[in-house]
Structure formats: structure tokens, C-alpha cells
Chains A and B, each alone.
Chain A
Amino acid sequence: MVKVEFLGPIGLEPIEIEADTLKDVSKALQDIKEVSSWLDKCAVAVNDVMSNDLSLKLKDGDRVSILPPVCGG
């Protein structure tokens, strides 16, 4: 199981899903109505490291963070 957390304004509690790669996470999240509309503008981090690679292998206990558009300052 990997833990998926939704940061900032997405406002959802973390979920746990079965996923071997980020591609699996992508498929799972597109089926969740409250999340799917955010995905086209969100970045992704795995264990607090930004990732651009959907083929990235995940292991049990990994943490995937979904980061919506930012505006500091």
C-alpha cells in the first residue's frame, strides 16, 4: 500500500491505495471525483522528492503527495 496525501486547498484526507508505479496512482486518482478535476494542474512528489516519471516504481509504505498550484509571498 502507498499513502496518497492531498496538499493545500484540495482539502481531502489522505488515502491508501495499492500501486506499483505512479501510473497506477494516476489511474486510481482519476476515478475519484473530488480529485480528478485537480489533476491536470497538480505536481507530484514521492517521499518529499518531486517526480516527473510515471514509471517510477513505488514500494510498500511510500508516500505520494499531490501539490496543487502555488502562490507564496
Chain B
Amino acid sequence: MELYQGPLDVKEIFNRWLEAERESNYGAFIPFVGIIRAEDNIEALSFDIYEPILESWFNSWVEKAKDRGAIIKMAHAIGDVPIHTTSYMSAVFSPKRRVALELIDEFVEDFKANAPIWKYDVVNGERIYAEDRSTPMSGSGILVKKENI
């Protein structure tokens, strides 16, 4: 897992990942690249990350991938990422295409729901939490559930 201040250098990361597995005999390489779109007058998106839990979340996916003969890589930006640049990359390598296609889908969806990363719109230099696009992590609400109190 790689974390960077500001936007990702997509070509450098893509080439390095590909080169690292050049002779690993994987038949499928499926990357996902997340690009910041211009919408609602935003200048950028901005990200906070809680690294210790992100690391353990990612490591659990490395293990799941390994069980299926695949590997997973991921890179994410911290701080401001201007529109039309890249905040997130992930990729799956697997011997055959089916596992990689399924795994990248499952991985990116779980990433959206459970990776401890917080997103903000940057408008006129101000950071505004993207609450309406955010998802409570699994187990959320435990501190106020009536049956627990």
C-alpha cells in the first residue's frame, strides 16, 4: 500500500506495478484509477486517512487475494487533489481474468464502504466534508443502539 501527499503520478505507479510483476506469470492485470471530476464548482477533493486501520483493512484483502491466487496493490492520496487528477489507484493481478475481474469489483466496493478515509470538497479554498456521499462503516451506531445501553 502506498500513500502520497497530493495527486498520484499515475503513469509512474502503473509502470512500476506492471514491471514488478513482469515475470510473475499472471495472465490478467486489472487496474482501477479514480479521477477527480469537475462538478458543483469544486476545485479539488481533499482526503484524511487513518493509516493504522487502513493498513490492517488492506492487509486482510491481501490475504483474501492470496487465497484466490491473486495479488492486490493500492495507492491513495492524502490532502488536496485537484480536479482532473488522480486520488486513488488499485490493481489486481491473477493467473486468469475471472478472478481479477471479480476481485477488483469486490475490493473497490469494500474500499468505498470500509476504508478509513474521509473526503472533503474544496470550494473557494474551504474544505467541506462530503457527508452525503459517505458511508457508515460496518458496526456503526454501536455506541447508541438502545439494546446496548
Q: Quick one: which of B52, B115, B139 contacts A44, CB cutoff 8 A?
A: B139
B139 in contact with A8 (CB, 8 Å): no
Give the docked Cα–Cα distance between A44 and B88 (Å): 25
Asked whether any CB of chain A lies closer than 8 Å to the CB of B134, the reply is yes
Give B33's nearest chain A residue, CB to CB.
A73
Give B148's nearest chain A residue, CB to CB.
A54
B136 in contact with A41 (CB, 8 Å): yes
Give the docked Cα–Cα distance between A66 and B148 (Å): 17
Asked whether any CB of chain B lies closer than 8 Å to the CB of A67, the reply is yes
A25 contact set on B, CB distance < 8 A: 143
Question: Assuming A27-B149, A67-B116, A69-B136, is B142 touching A44 (CB within 8 A)?
Answer: yes
Question: Assuming A43-B137, A43-B138, is B148 touching A72 (CB within 8 A)?
Answer: no
Give the docked Cα–Cα distance between A8 and B116 (Å): 9
Asked whether any CB of chain B lies closer than 8 Å to the CB of A1, the reply is no
A73 in contact with B87 (CB, 8 Å): yes
Minimum C-beta distance from B117 to chain A (A) = 3
Where the two chains meet, the residues of A that have a C-beta atom closer than 8 Å to any C-beta of B are 7-9, 22-23, 25-27, 29-30, 39-45, 48-52, 54, 65-73
Where the two chains meet, the residues of B that have a C-beta atom closer than 8 Å to any C-beta of A are 34, 47-48, 50, 52-53, 56, 76, 87-88, 108, 111-120, 129-131, 133-144, 148-149
